[in-house]
Amino acid sequence: MTKDKENITEEVTAVLSEIVEDSEKEKPQKGKEVFPINETEFMLDNRRYQLVVNYREGFDAQKLGERYSDVLAKYDYIVGDWGFEQLRLKGFFASKNRKSSPDQKINMLEDYLYEYCNFGCAHFVIACVERPNEKTGRRRKKPHNKKNKQTQVTRKKEKTQKQGTNKPTIKQREVKETRSSDKKVTKKETKEFVIRKKED
């Protein structure tokens, strides 16, 4: 009887281990994959990042990959803070970036940590070191040619002179006279109050 129990338990454990292995293989990886280069640098979404601050061992590469989204790619710095066992990511621009608002610059990091994060929470800061070549969407401005501008202005002046100085005239309207005798006043149209003249 003990041999039968041992055989059954071995069969059950073998079946359970197969089920666990199959479920681990089927799980798709969430988010992006993080490839470490060395202790402080890694690749994420074809961008090279460097770990700048790691307060209370807050950096977790796997969780960073899960929470990372393409919106964060435009930022120069990414800050991750832990609250209630969840990682929150926020992007910041470099201090030299003129187009960003002041609260989105990295020099406001301390204010962000005091206002929006739990006091003393574990957090990290990563800086984007290298980006792939991306089109910025900017167009080159054509060089200004003063001669072209002057010729356009003279052409406009010539056109207005050719047209002449015919200004539109406003026709005077004829005032319609109404006769009070033509209208019949009924009691309903009259006002119910009387205006009195001031007595001396």
25 part of a folded domain: no
Is 162 within the bounds of a domain? no
In a domain, 60, yes or no: yes
Q: Is residue 85 part of a domain?
A: yes
Establish if 94 belongs to a structural domain. Answer: yes
> Tokens standing for 194?
């009387």
Asked if residue 113 belongs to a domain, the reply is: yes
Please state the φ and ψ torsions of residue 61, each to the nearest 5 degrees.
-65, -40
- The domain total for the chain is 1
Which residue blocks in 27-80 are alpha helix, DSSP H?
A: 61-67
Asked if 45 contacts 53 with a C-beta cutoff of 8 angstroms, the reply is no
CATH number at residue 51: 3.50.4.20
The residue whose two tokens read 């989105």 is 104
pLDDT of residue 48: 92
Specify the pLDDT at position 138.
58
The pLDDT of residue 188 is: 53
22 within domain boundaries = no
Name, in order, each residue with C-beta under 8 angstroms of 33's C-beta and a sequence gap of 6 or more. 44, 65
pLDDT for the residue numbered 191: 54
State how far the Cα of 49 lies from the Cα of 33, in Å rounded to an integer. Answer: 13
Is 28 within a domain?
no
Q: Tens digit of pLDDT for each residue in 93-103?
A: 999 988 889 88
| Tens of pLDDT, residue by residue, the chain (200 residues) | 577 777 888 888 888 788 877 655 545 556 778 888 888 899 888 899 999 999 999 999 889 999 999 899 999 999 999 998 899 999 999 999 888 898 899 999 999 999 999 888 999 999 998 887 765 555 666 555 555 666 666 777 676 666 655 666 676 766 665 555 555 555 555 556 667 777 76
Q: Write out the residue range of the structural domain in which residue 102 sits.
A: 34-130
46-57: pLDDT as tens digits: 899 999 999 999
